[in-house]
Amino acid sequence: MSGTELAVAGEVVELVRWLAGPQAQAEVSVTRYGLELTRFANSFIHQNVAEQSFSVRLRVHVDGRTATGSGSRVDPDGLRGLVDRTLAAARLCPPDPAWPGLTPPAPVGPSGPVDEAITGAQPEDRADRVRAFVDAVGGLEAAGYCRTSYRSGAFANSAGHSARGRTAEAAMDGIARVGGADGMARLCVDRLADLDGAALGARAAARARAAVDPVELPPGRYEVVLEPAAVADLLQSLSWYGFNGKRYAERQSFAELGAAQFDPTVTLVDDPLHGSGLPYDVEGTPRRPLTLVEAGTTRAVTHDRRSGAEAGTGSTGHGMLGGSTFGPIPRNLRLAATTDSGGSTGPAGAGGAAATGAGGAGGAGGAGGAVVDGDTAALVGQVRRGLLVSDLWYTRVLDPKSLVVTGLTRNGVWLIEDGVVTRAVRDLRFTESYPRALGPGAVLGLGARAVRQPDRTDGVWWEAPPLRLASWNFTGGASG
């Protein structure tokens, strides 16, 4: 369908030329979007919704002034109205001396493979996975969602540059609950066949049962094993506040280019084409893998055209809606696993997130066999005394410069003693500097499989293996 979108984008560019003259600069993004969501609670589906939309975004630079407009109508009157409104807004805007110009013509790579099972998914396809999840929890209370989404888009500008692409993803996030204890499993995939509701449900149920009757632990610094869902929160905050080129230019970021700020085991790559993502950004710049941290050394921050021009480096392909306000952000960040720098999002990756590990290497006795799979168990087995943390939430940044974050654990915390998960622990509050926690000497181990975690926004994901960290600062219980 992207040929249709490209024709619409070209038509808008020609309208701007006709109405504002050949000196006017224009860029147009056209996106066809579909999102289908099936939600369940109390072990029943209670909502199935679908959204289909067609959006046209126009940015013009006329007589030294810049304005942006958007619309959803693609008929001649609708497109003419969009151009008229945007040109009128430009005349009222203040001068824009920092205008970076349009993306010049450049080759844009093809989109990755698109799973037609996702683009054509029906409510029954998602309901089948929900049913499998609910059946697998074995009578426990279950809640969560299953979603499928796709995008087909095109870009054109008056400098002669154009691009198009397609992308799709599927995701599931569910919890099982028993006796006030929750267990969680979530996964984001590129192929619908890799979304195994039964495996995810079994994982969540095993966690919930193992989290019953938790003990209270005193605050303090503990060695921890963070599972992929918890690591995803670290990656998200590092992206928003650290590798953001606008914050870096404003000296609000911890990033120091060329400095060994992380443990040598840490390599972070923003890689939109590794999973669901269009091959160009909102400004038409080709998107490619960008290594932000290489073997512990900070190598780059992300830029759109404006921040890249100010930095003298050019865009890294991270132009995005709202970027002029909060800056360009890496939104497909992955932490390289120990045995696969590309991670895994197929069945192997699903196993890292969904296998119950009922007889795994978690150690005899206690909760270990029900809590850890083979990948996490390898890290747990190295811990003399510490905590296994499933998930972090309600995280808030206290100091953007050092990226000190406070938040809570949820969906299961367990005590590790002599390499064995022994019993559940009540949720804890933490206050920790994320860069410090990943700093030189602080990462004691990485899992062998990277598992992709969905974001609240489709097309955004965070991929990481479990991590063993030397120290994590817990400051109190969940109530304070």
Give tens-digit pLDDT for 90-148. 999 999 999 999 999 999 988 888 999 999 999 999 999 999 999 999 999 999 999 99
H or E element in which residue 165 lies: strand 162-178
82 burial (CB, 10 Å; 0-12 / 13-18 / 19+) is buried
Instruction: Check whether 340 has a pLDDT greater than 70.
Output: no
- Size of the chain, expressed as the number of residues it contains: 480
The DSSP-derived string for 401-464 is TTTEEEEEEEEEEEEEETTEEEEEB--EEEEEEHHHHTSTTTEEEE-S--EEEE-SSTT-EEEE
Amino acid at 202: A
* Mean pLDDT to the nearest integer, 81-98: 97
Predicted pLDDT of residue 350 = 37
pTM of the model: 0.91
Amino acid at 308: G
Report how far residue 268's alpha carbon sits from residue 264's, in angstroms, rounded to the nearest whole number: 11
- Give first-to-last CA distance, the chain, whole Å: 52
Report how far residue 107's alpha carbon sits from residue 101's, in angstroms, rounded to the nearest whole number: 18
Predicted pLDDT of residue 359 = 30
Q: CB count, 10 Å around CB of 477? A: 15
3-state secondary structure of 124: helix
And the tokens for 144?
A: 């969560």
Report how far residue 7's alpha carbon sits from residue 411's, in angstroms, rounded to the nearest whole number: 48
Instruction: Check whether 347 has a pLDDT greater than 50.
Output: no
Could you give the percent of the chain with pLDDT greater than 90? 85
And the tokens for 80?
A: 């003419």
Predicted pLDDT of residue 324 = 81
Predicted pLDDT of residue 358 = 28
- Phi/psi at 132 (5° precision): -65, -40
Report how far residue 255's alpha carbon sits from residue 260's, in angstroms, rounded to the nearest whole number: 10
pLDDT in tens, 52-69: 999 999 999 999 999 999
Instruction: Check whether 157 has a pLDDT greater than 60.
Output: yes
Quote the radius of gyration of the chain (alpha carbons, Å).
24
- The sign of the CA dihedral 386, 387, 392, 398 is negative
Instruction: Check whether 351 has a pLDDT greater than 80.
Output: no
Instruction: Check whether 353 has a pLDDT greater than 70.
Output: no
Residue 261's contacts (CB-CB under 8 Å, 6 or more residues apart) are 254, 255, 293, 296, 297, 298, 435, 439, 440
User: Please, where are the H alpha helices in 272-371?
Assistant: 305-311, 323-326, 347-354, 368-371
Predicted pLDDT of residue 273 = 87
Amino acid at 328: P
Q: CB count, 10 Å around CB of 448? A: 17
Amino acid at 25: Q
- Which letter does DSSP use for residue 103 in this model? P
Residue 268's contacts (CB-CB under 8 Å, 6 or more residues apart) are 235, 238, 243, 262, 291, 292, 293, 333, 334, 335, 336
In Å, how far are 31, 106, 322 from 54, measured between CA atoms? Answer: 6, 26, 19
pLDDT in tens, 440-461: 999 999 999 999 999 988 889 9
- Which letter does DSSP use for residue 255 in this model? -
* Mean pLDDT to the nearest integer, 204-212: 96
Predicted pLDDT of residue 463 = 97
* Mean pLDDT to the nearest integer, 179-199: 96
* Mean pLDDT to the nearest integer, 407-427: 97
Report how far residue 81's alpha carbon sits from residue 106's, in angstroms, rounded to the nearest whole number: 30
Predicted pLDDT of residue 467 = 98
And the tokens for 75?
A: 């008929």
Contact 178, 209 (CB under 8 A): yes
Burial 67-78 (b: 16+ CB within 10 A, else e): bebebeebeeee
Instruction: Check whether 352 has a pLDDT greater than 60.
Output: no
Predicted pLDDT of residue 354 = 33
Report how far residue 310's alpha carbon sits from residue 426's, in angstroms, rounded to the nearest whole number: 48
Instruction: Check whether 279 has a pLDDT greater than 80.
Output: yes
Report how far residue 255's alpha carbon sits from residue 247's, in angstroms, rounded to the nearest whole number: 10
Instruction: Check whether 470 has a pLDDT greater than 60.
Output: yes
Average pLDDT, the chain: 92
In Å, how far are 120, 123, 144, 173, 285 from 46, measured between CA atoms? Answer: 22, 12, 10, 15, 41
Least confident of 125-139, 215-229, 337-351: 337-351
* Mean pLDDT to the nearest integer, 349-377: 50
And the tokens for 47?
A: 């909502």
Select from 55, 33, 28 the least CA-distant residue to 276: 33
3-state secondary structure of 65: strand
* Mean pLDDT to the nearest integer, 426-432: 97
How, if at all, do strands 332-335 and 268-270 pair?
A: antiparallel
Please name the residue that has the structure tokens 């050949």: 22
* Banded model confidence at residue 375, pLDDT cuts 50, 70, 90: confident
Report how far residue 181's alpha carbon sits from residue 210's, in angstroms, rounded to the nearest whole number: 8
